[in-house]
Amino acid sequence: MGAQWKVKHKADAANSRGKIFGKLAKELTVAARNGADPDMNSHLRLVYEQAKKASMPADTIKRAINKGAGIGTEAVQYHRVTYEGFAPHQVPLIIECLTDNINRTVAEIRVAFRKGQLGASGSVAWDFNHVGMIEAKPDTPDADPEMAAIEAGAQDFEEGEEEGTTLFITEPTDLDAVQKALPEHGFTVLSAKLGYQPKNPVSGLTDEQMAEVQEFLAKLEEQDDVQEMFVALA
């Protein structure tokens, strides 16, 4: 199911435009390290398209790119760090952060994990596949996700997080090529990113246990440096 590959945001977080823009700005800054021209930088192009789809102001996009490319006086260096561990009831998760202060971030993550278990590198990664994830919507009612996946070079597909969308799974190295090919096969790309897909999602939790897990994940997501969370939860 599509919900397995990432945490479902609470309504207030999903509707927080400032938080969405903040995450996109960091991603733009990091991607721009390899060049400020989206046409020459595939990673930057992916994030740039996501920022435009989110209606991020053009001057905000430009400022974030300039920071990463070292243009002007606002240059900043973000580091991508990954944490692994368990939510309550031994639910594995991987957290990706972007930070300009690793010591601050790890301290905040440790505090947020008080009701979970923060693990060492590799402690849960073995239970996830590192993949490309492309969420797309059909252009017409008869668009066939299976044929689109085959023709575009995706490894698999499943129901997307948003109603009516499809999540196409790719090899990490094929992400850019597949997201470029999908429009030729009747699908509009909404987002494209690298992420983690659980091999053995945890199921069978009671309503009370699920509520504890969701509360824990919501508190983690409130951390400013957290960009993505991938949870092995059915």
Residues 96 and 208 in one domain: yes
Convert the pLDDT of each residue in 80-116 to its tens digit.
999 999 999 999 999 999 999 999 999 999 999 999 9
Q: Domain of 105?
A: 79-126+199-231
Q: Are residues 43 and 196 in contact, defined by beta-carbon separation less than 8 angstroms?
A: no
Residues 57 and 170 in one domain: no
Residues 108 and 191 in one domain: no
CA distance 28 to 47: 6
pLDDT for res 60: 95
pLDDT mean over 203-220: 95
CA distance 177 to 51: 20
Q: Classify residue 156 by its DSSP letter.
A: E
Give residue for tokens 């202060």: 101
User: Count of CB atoms within 10 A of residue 105's CB?
Assistant: 20
End position of a domain, from candidates 32, 51, 69: 69
Residues 204 and 116 in one domain: yes
Of 141, 139, 142, 169, give the one whose Cα is nearest residue 157: 169
Residues 45 and 7 in one domain: yes
H/E run at residue 65: helix 58-69
Convert the pLDDT of each residue in 112-136 to its tens digit.
999 999 999 999 999 999 999 999 9
pLDDT for res 20: 87
CA distance 211 to 201: 17
Structural domain count of the chain: 3
Residues paired with 91 in a beta bridge: 87
On the question of pLDDT at 177 being above 70, the answer is yes
Note whether residue 59 is domain-resident.
yes
End position of a domain, from candidates 44, 69, 94: 69
List the CATH number of the domain containing 134: 3.30.70.980
pLDDT for res 191: 86
Convert the pLDDT of each residue in 134-153 to its tens digit.
999 999 999 999 999 999 99
Structure-token pair, residue 214? 């969701």
Residues 35 and 55 in one domain: yes
Residues 212 and 122 in one domain: yes
Per-residue confidence band for 9, with pLDDT thresholds at 50, 70 and 90: very low
Note whether residue 74 is domain-resident.
no
Residues 18 and 47 in one domain: yes
Note whether residue 215 is domain-resident.
yes
State CA 176 to chain mean position distance.
15
Residues 18 and 65 in one domain: yes
Note whether residue 207 is domain-resident.
yes
Residues 19 and 61 in one domain: yes
Residues 50 and 30 in one domain: yes
223 three-state secondary structure: coil
List the CATH number of the domain containing 15: 1.10.10.200
pLDDT for res 10: 43
pLDDT mean over 21-43: 91
End position of a domain, from candidates 25, 40, 69: 69
Residues 103 and 190 in one domain: no
Q: Classify residue 198 by its DSSP letter.
A: E
